[in-house]
A and B are shown apart, each in its own frame.
Chain A
Amino acid sequence: MSTDVEKNVSVKTPSDRGQGPAGPRERVMSRTVAMVIMGAFTLYFLVPIWWLIVAGSKDQRSILTTNPLWFADFHMLQNLGDLFSYRDGVYLEWLRNSILYAGVGGAVATLLAGMCGYALAKYTFRGREAIFNLVLGGVLVPATALALPLFLLFSKVELTNTFWAVFLPSIVSPFGVYLTRIFAASSVSDELLEAARLDGASEVRTFFTVSIRLMAPALITVFLFQFVTIWNNFFLPLIMLRDESLFPVTFGLYSWNTQLNQLPELRSLVLIGALVSIVPLIIAFLSLQRFWRSGLAAGSVK
Chain B
Amino acid sequence: MKLTKPAAAAAVALLSSVALVACSSDTGTTPDNTTGTDPGATSDAPMDSGACQPAGEDVTLEFTSWIPGIEGVVDMWNADNPDIQVKVQTGPNGNGGTYKNFFNQIEAGNAPDLGQIEYDALPNFRVQGGLEDLGPCADVMAAKDKFVDWTWSQVTLGSDTSVFGIPQDSGPMAMFYRKDLFEKNNIPVPTTWAEYADAAQKVKDAGGYITNFSQSDINQFAGFVWQAGGSWFSNEGDSWDITLDSPESITVADYWQGLLDKDLVSTVPPWTDEWNNAYNSGAAWTWVSAVWGANSIASGAPDTAGNWAVAPAPQWTEGGTDAGNWGGSSIAVLKGSDHLYEAAKFALWLNTSDESLTALNEAANIYPATKDGLNLPVLKEGVDFYGGQPIYDVFAEASGQVVPDFTWGPTMTQVYGDVSDSFKNAISGSGTLSSALTDGTASTIAALEAQSIPVAGK
A163 vs chain B, min Cβ distance (A)? 15
Which residues of chain A have C-beta atoms less than 8 A from B22's C-beta? 134, 138
* Binding-face segment, A8-16, A94-102, A144-152: A144-152
Residue of B110, B273, B298 with highest tally of chain A CB at under 10 A:
B110
Interface of chain A residues 212 through 250 with chain B (CB within 8 A): 238-239, 241-244, 247
Is the pair A141, B25 in contact by a Cβ cutoff of 8 Å? yes
Q: Does A125 contact B299, Cβ atoms closer than 8 Å? A: no
What is the CA–CA distance of A264 and B67 in the complex, to the nearest angstrom? 12
Whether B25 and A145, one on each chain, are in contact in the complex, defined by CB atoms closer than 8 angstroms, is: yes
Cα separation A110 to B198 with both chains bound (whole Å): 69
* Contact between A264 and B300, CB atoms less than 8 A apart: yes
Interface residue A182 (Cβ < 8 Å from any Cβ of B) = no
Give A205's nearest chain B residue, CB to CB.
Answer: B6
Known: A149-B24, A255-B91. A64 touches B277 (CB 8 A): yes
Contacts of A266 in B (CB 8 A): 68
B314 adjacent to chain A (CB < 8 Å): no
B369 to chain A, nearest CB (A): 15
B20-33 contact mask (Cβ, 8 Å, vs A): 1 or 0: 11101111100100
Bound-state Cα–Cα, A247 to B97, Å: 14
B104 touches A262 (CB 8 A): no
Give chain B nearest CB distance to A199 CB in angstroms.
16
Contact with B along A184-213 (1 / 0, CB 8 A): 000000000000000000111001000000
Q: B45 at interface (Cβ–Cβ under 8 A)?
A: no
CB pair A149–B27 under 8 Å, yes or no, is yes
Known contacts A255-B91, A258-B66, A261-B296; is A123 also within 8 Å of B7 by CB?
yes
| A149 close to B31 (CB less than 8 A) | yes
Number of B residues with CB within 8 Å of any CB on chain A: 62
Most buried by A among B10, B22, B107: B10
Taking CB atoms and an 8 Å cut-off, the chain B residues in 1-29 that contact chain A are 1, 3-7, 10-11, 13-15, 17-18, 20-22, 24-28
Q: How far is the CA of A290 from the CA of B451 in the complex (A)?
A: 54
In the bound complex, do residue A238 and residue B18 qualify as a contact, i.e. CB atoms below 8 Å apart? Answer: no
Q: List 25 A-B contacts (CB under 8 A).
A: A64-B280, A64-B301, A65-B302, A116-B10, A118-B10, A119-B7, A120-B14, A122-B7, A145-B31, A149-B26, A172-B20, A172-B21, A204-B6, A238-B101, A242-B112, A244-B90, A255-B96, A258-B66, A258-B96, A259-B68, A259-B364, A261-B296, A262-B366, A264-B300, A266-B68
